[in-house]
Amino acid sequence: MPKYYRILGEASVRGLKKISSQEISALLGLTASQVRQDLSHFGGFGQQGYGYDTEVLLSEIRKILGLTREFSVIIVGAGKIGNALAAYRGFAADGFIVKAMFDKEPNPAGNVLGIASLEEYLAKNPTDIAVIAVEKSEAEAVAKRLAAAGVKNFWNFAPIDLCIPGTVAENVNMSESLFRLSYRACEFQENKNQGE
């Protein structure tokens, strides 16, 4: 669904009023029947031989992804990753609003609160999503504190798989992504050598 959202958003920016399952499938690298099947799960938006209305489909997918509302976000960990995410403007456009940032070392000039005040802050400011950008050794303890204080959704950048009952975590593991690249690079090189 996130990929559908992106390519339909781009089609909308290009001014495309209608889009066919063939066009969507070409952009996504899927078969047209796979696209029709995916979209049929969410009610039949399309008409035979006519395609989909780009704006209608976009708005339906926005609903499915939960992007019709605002999410309040805090970032825990004011290192390089935390700061890079705080500075990225794209998230606010999709309704993800960073309200506060916490670190072991508070920095009032940079709007970074001390992590000791986490519970106090959350009691006053219910928060939808916490970004975990602390060291690996601290990530689970921080997530448990957040969960106990009512945060149910984690976007986790520490290299562990967070798995805390009653919460949802999206684990972004940068090293694993890099290993996938080196693995595929090696496969690619081997296939090329065999082909030559």
Kindly list the residues in this chain that would bind a second copy in the complex (CB under 8 A).
1-3, 5-6, 29, 64-67, 71, 80-81, 83-84, 87-88, 90-91, 94, 96, 128-129, 152-155, 159, 161, 168-170, 172-186, 188
Which residues make beta-bridge pairs with 154?
Answer: 130, 169
Burial class (CB in 10 A: 0-12, 13-18, 19+), 126: exposed
Closer CB to a second copy, 32 or 67, in the complex: 67
Shortest Cβ 141–a second copy spacing (Å): 17
Which pair of tokens denotes residue 86?
Answer: 């705080």
- Give least dist CB 94 to a second copy, A: 7
Least CB distance to a second copy at residue 65 (A): 5
CB of 187 to a second copy, least distance (A): 8
Residue type, 55: E
Reduced to 3 states (helix: H, G, I; strand: E, B; else coil), residue 107 is strand
Query: Which lies closer to a second copy via its Cβ, residue 182 or residue 194?
Result: 182
Could you give the CA distance from residue 11 to residue 33 in angstroms, rounded to a whole number?
A: 20
> How many residues are recorded in the chain?
196
